[in-house]
Amino acid sequence: MTSHRPWLGFILGVLVTAGVALVLAREVDWRVTWAALSQADLRYLALALGAMLANIAGKTARWRWLFYPQAQRLERRHLLAALLIGQLGNVLLPTRLGDLARIWVVSQSQRLALSQSLLTVVAEKAMDSLMLLLVLTVLLPFVPLPPWLSRSRLVLAGTLGLVLIAWVGLAAHEPLRQRMRQVLERLHLHPLTRWLEQAMEALSHLRDLRAGSVQARLWGLSVAIWLLSACVNHFAFRAVRLDLPFSAGLLLAVTEISGTNVAYTPAAVGVYHSICILTLSLFGIPFAPALSAALLLYLVVYTPIIVGGLLAVWLEGLDLRQMR
């Protein structure tokens, strides 16, 4: 069953894209859309692009701290390159395969164990899952949630984040590990005991992340990353003269992440635009101006990822055949 999930996401993405293309062909007055884009406020456009670049820098800084205490010796340039290559892979490939490329690249360039690099990405996803749930909790009193945004999926994301963080904490707590080992041995679950020990030993590499100063940096950067994502959306709205509250940009940040993880098309063409248009409809924005905002946001968000990712591949001198 699981082997078919990438194809289901791809098929869903293709159907969404086809539906959007049909609507665009029948309903959109492209002269009005082009006029709105050509008259975009360049000051807000520059702010949106700046917020996007700052967002990428924030993600790089957070990822660096997830390697603590080795963070100081890691080169920011190589971490940024690996992150951009991973984002490029996630844009162009299904099922988040870019994350695997990112793990491989940083392990090669910084001479790190693959398991350690993998764990930092797992920890990052756990933090983002919890942040998504936190942002939604903050938004609930102020904005309506779209009906297509499954509450059960969001609860699952939050639960997964809590489980992963609890698992990391358990791995770093030696007395509790000993107690769990004794219980499993009494139950004669020896294969499970060996598997548990291997998993715990790998996760124990993250024990140093419990330091208060490191936690403050990680969660502070996570909040900044989400706020910058909202700023990208907010400034793009203002660029096409949509006077929306900041909460609209924050909600779009949530729906973008949730939607593009479910339905896939190369470079999120169609899927991204549909999510933006549907989210803006909750605030009473008609189709034409919502489409203008979606097109502008698409350029602001994906241009740095695609251009930066390709440049990173070239600068790192990667031979993609080594990744097979």
Number of domains in the chain: 1
Block residue for tokens 């297509």: 148
Q: How far is CA 185 from the centre of its chain?
A: 40
What are the DSSP calls for 136-183, one per residue?
HHHHTTTSPPPTTS-HHHHHHHHHHHHHHHHHHHHHT-HHHHHHHHHH
What 272-278 contacts at long range (C-beta under 8 Å, 24+ apart), as own/partner pairs, is 272/297, 272/298, 272/301, 272/302, 273/20, 273/298, 274/16, 274/19, 274/20, 276/252, 278/146, 278/148
Domain contains 222: yes
User: For position 203, what pLDDT does the model report?
Assistant: 60
Domain contains 26: no
User: For position 94, what pLDDT does the model report?
Assistant: 67
Domain contains 279: yes
Tokens of 271: 């899927």
Can you give the residue range of the structural domain that contains 58?
Answer: 31-323
pLDDT of the chain, 324 residues: tens digit per residue:
444 444 454 455 455 555 555 554 455 555 655 665 677 888 999 999 999 999 999 999 999 999 888 878 888 999 999 999 999 888 887 666 788 889 999 988 888 888 788 888 888 888 888 888 888 888 878 887 776 665 545 555 556 556 666 655 555 555 666 666 666 566 655 555 565 565 555 566 666 777 778 889 999 999 999 999 999 999 999 999 999 999 999 999 988 887 666 555 666 666 788 888 889 988 999 888 888 899 899 989 999 999 999 999 888 776 555 544
Cβ pair 170, 176 in contact under 8 A: yes
Domain contains 147: yes
Domain contains 18: no
